[in-house]
Amino acid sequence: MKRRNKQRLTKPGKANMEREDVKSILESLLLVADGPQSVQRFSEVLDGTNKDIIENSLRELQSEFETQNRGIRLVEVAGGYQLRTPKANADWVKKFLGGRPARMGKATLETLAIIAYRQPITRAEIEAIRGVDVDGVIATLLERNLIRAVARKDVPGRPFLYGTTAEFLQLFNLQDLSQLPTLKEMEEISLPEISGDTISLDHLEEN
Amino acid sequence: MSTSVQLEIFEGPLDLLLHLIKKNEVSITDIPIATITEQYLATLELMQNFSLDVAGEFLVMAATLIHIKSRMLLPAGDDEGDEDDGIDPHEELVRRLLEYQRYKEAAAELEQRDLLTRDVFVRSPTPTEEVGPRGFREVSVFELLGALKRIIDRLPKETVHEIALDKITMREKMTFLLETLRARGSVLFESLFVEIKSRVEVVVTFLAMLELVKVRAIRIFQEQMTGPIMIEAAAQMDEAAEQAAIDETGESQHGA
């Protein structure tokens, strides 16, 4: 039998909850929760149980799912915790659910990446980078709640500025935007002479 | 030089250029302009042969490439004076390609992550009337028409001709629908027609709904093939309606 961790709590929950109870309750809440839930939210529901206790319990749950090779994993995503299936089971889950795999087209993905890294950004600015019209793609992304209009840019025409949503973080399994893969610096893939857009190649040749 | 160009769907001129650069195994910063321009134009021709619509931006890029190529033929220093805006088109192209390449790579990296509903899954939410359209299927025009027919069929069979046709306007119906959605967020398609007794009013209501879909003020979706059809306020309902100048309650009414 697994030895239970009977460590004394320095700050027990107001409702005098045992650590194991907290963990069990959290597991229940995670099961019924719709979308990722924050530690703050759990703390409120558990009568103000100390956030450290909540976090420790969540981490214990997390490692239990992992080490016991369970069919659910506790994932930190979009600023909260959510139960998800492990990738290894993806094919079976897909087979069970049936339906079409939600494929994202290249244009959609590229536009979404530009918005993610450059937000807030206007449609015209995205088009300048991609070199093509992005009207349709923007409409699709708005429709799928992956982006939203966050403000209007203070330039003639007051165009919308777009940014990504929590759904975007959920889709790509990101805790927050800081977790985006680092964008390669222009310098890393460019020749040293093109370090700014005001320096003309002609001038450099003269040096 | 081999011209066996495999036709792909290119997202735009930059995409095509990057493809050619990769195929020729050259670097973005050191493009053999003559070769690339030739291949670029050949691809455009091929696209046209396949009756693909070659969008304007592809042609603009073709012009840019030819411009760069012609400038390179000029003796060095000759073009310093007649520079129109001080931006070297070659350098500008390299900058754009590099920048586009960055985001293409970032997109590819994002795609490698554990994507929700592709690699990882969450418990399906219990469908309720309040549930949003995520995961809901789109409703086809035929399904909408089918639903309309069911509503018309349900109308009392009346032989009396309607004369006061100008009582209902599409604008009124649109305003009504917007107000309902503003208050409730979403409604069942069928519920829009419960109170309605006349065929004309059913049709006008239906057209009003289609108009609002067109301006993206509302969305129509369905949980499953035969399930109830839901109408939901789009994220920017008020803005969309405002832009389309629909929602003006005090507007004078025009007869049908």
Cβ burial of B128 (10 Å; 0-12, 13-18, 19+) is: exposed
Write out the residue limits of the CATH 1.10.10.580 domain(s) in chain B.
137-243
List, for residues B160-180, the tens digit of each pLDDT value: 555 555 567 888 888 888 888
What secondary structure, in 3-state letters, does chain B show? CCCCCCCCCCCCHHHHHHHHHHHCCCCHHHCCHHHHHHHHHHHHHHHHHCCCCCCHHHHHHHHHHHHHHHHHHCCCCCCCCCCCCCCCHHHHHHHHHHHHHHHHHHHHHHHCCCCECCCECCCCCCCCCCCCCCCCEECCHHHHHHHHHHHHHHCCCCCCCCCCHHHCCHHHHHHHHHHHHHHHCEEECHHHHCCCCCHHHHHHHHHHHHHHHHCCCEEEEECCCCCCEEEEECCCHHHHHHHCCCCCCCCCCCCC
* CATH architecture assignment, domain B137-243: Orthogonal Bundle (1.10)
Contacts of A86 in chain B (CB under 8 A): 120
Residue bearing the bigger pLDDT, B236 or B62: B62
ipTM, 2 dp = 0.77
Residue B221 is predicted with a pLDDT of: 80
Res A133: pLDDT: 87
Chain A contact for B65 (CB, 8 A cutoff): no
pLDDT at position A25, please? 94
A59 band by pLDDT with thresholds 50, 70 and 90 = very high
User: CB of B121 within 8 Å of any CB in chain A?
Assistant: yes
User: Which DSSP category does A176 fall into?
Assistant: S
Domains and CATH numbers, chain A: 19-95 (1.10.10.10), 106-206 (1.10.10.10)
Q: Tell me the chain A residues in contact with residue B109 when contact means C-beta distances shorter than 8 Å.
A: 181
| Three-class SS state of A84 | strand
Better-predicted residue by pLDDT, B202 or B166: B202
The span from the CA of B185 to the CA of B178, in Å, is: 9
A117: nearest CA partner in chain B:
B103
Q: What pLDDT digit, counting tens, does each position of A120-130 carry? A: 999 999 999 99
Q: Do A189 and B28 touch (CB under 8 A)?
A: yes
Is it true that the peptide bond before B32 is cis, omega within 30 degrees of 0?
Answer: no
Confidence tier at B125 by pLDDT (50, 70, 90):
low
Mean predicted confidence (pLDDT) in A161-168: 94
